[in-house]
Amino acid sequence: MAFKILTEKDCDIFANLGGKKRQTLRRMVIELVLATDMSKHMSLLADLRTMVETKKVSGSGMLNLDNYADRIQILQNMIHCADLSNPAKPLRLYRKWTGRLIEEFFRQGDKERNLSLEISPMCDRESVEVEKSQVSFIDFVCHPLWETWCDLVHPCAQLILDTLEDNRDWYECHIKESKIKVTQLARPKLATAAEDDEEISTTSGNT
């Protein structure tokens, strides 16, 4: 759809790119979008770990991004980290967006229940333990990725990794309180765009 829009008059922001550069850009965008597929998580992580080990073996401490394959690998993992960045945000923001996401899952589960369908994983508000699920998500998905990325760009991402680990500990401390039943679950109040912008601005100013 994005490339289709680029064909419309006054919408081609890459009009000044030559044919070869335009083809390279298109290829890069497609590869980055495909990297957001969670089914590719393990392969992306494995490639990133290999890059980290190669960097350590070389002893230079510098990344060699002279070829396209290495550059696209870095960009793919960068966008994958961005996709999995919510647990690494300040706790207040992390909890707010987790609540919104979980509520979306629960509404899907409610619909599936009403249609007598099998309820999808993480979508049953009567059985999902939110805190426990977040600890598992961090332990098995987010932390391995962010730990490896932090190792690659050390020390630039250390604060992100520290925040992720603090958030994980907070959720672990609240696991016993996480057996939420449908009658106990309060639907989160959705903030306006202005309120979100104000909170993000305040959070950024305090870091």
CB 145 within 8 A of CB 84: yes
pLDDT, residue 62, reads 74
- 60 has pLDDT over 90: no
**Closest-CA residue to 142 (of 49, 40, 36, 41):** 41
pLDDT, residue 182, reads 36
Is 83 a known ligand-binding residue? yes
State whether residue 179 is helix, strand or coil.
strand
pLDDT, residue 102, reads 95
The pLDDT confidence band at residue 155, using thresholds 50, 70 and 90, is confident
Q: Which of 21-30, 168-177, 197-206 has the lowest mean pLDDT?
A: 197-206
Residue 41 CA from chain centroid, whole number: 11
State whether residue 25 is helix, strand or coil.
helix
Q: What is the pLDDT of residues 12-21, one digit of tens each?
A: 888 888 889 9
Read off the pLDDT of each residue in 40-68 and give the average, rounded to a whole number.
86
Token pair 């903030």 is found at 191
Say how far apart CA 90 and CA 94 lie, in whole Å. Answer: 6
Q: What is the pLDDT of residues 108-120, one digit of tens each?
A: 999 999 999 999 9
CB 84 within 8 A of CB 142: yes
**Closest-CA residue to 130 (of 93, 92, 101):** 101
Most confidently modeled of 62-76, 151-165, 179-193?
151-165
Domain locations in the chain? 89-191
State whether residue 129 is helix, strand or coil.
strand
- 63 has pLDDT over 80: no
Read off the pLDDT of each residue in 187-207 and give the average, rounded to a whole number.
58
Q: What are phi and psi of 129, to 5 degrees?
A: -100, 100
- 1 has pLDDT over 90: no
Q: What is the DSSP letter of 185?
A: P
Beta bridge partners of 179: 129
Mean confidence (pLDDT) of the chain: 87
- 192 has pLDDT over 70: no
Q: What is the DSSP letter of 60?
A: S
Q: What is the pLDDT of residues 71-88, one digit of tens each?
A: 999 999 999 999 999 999
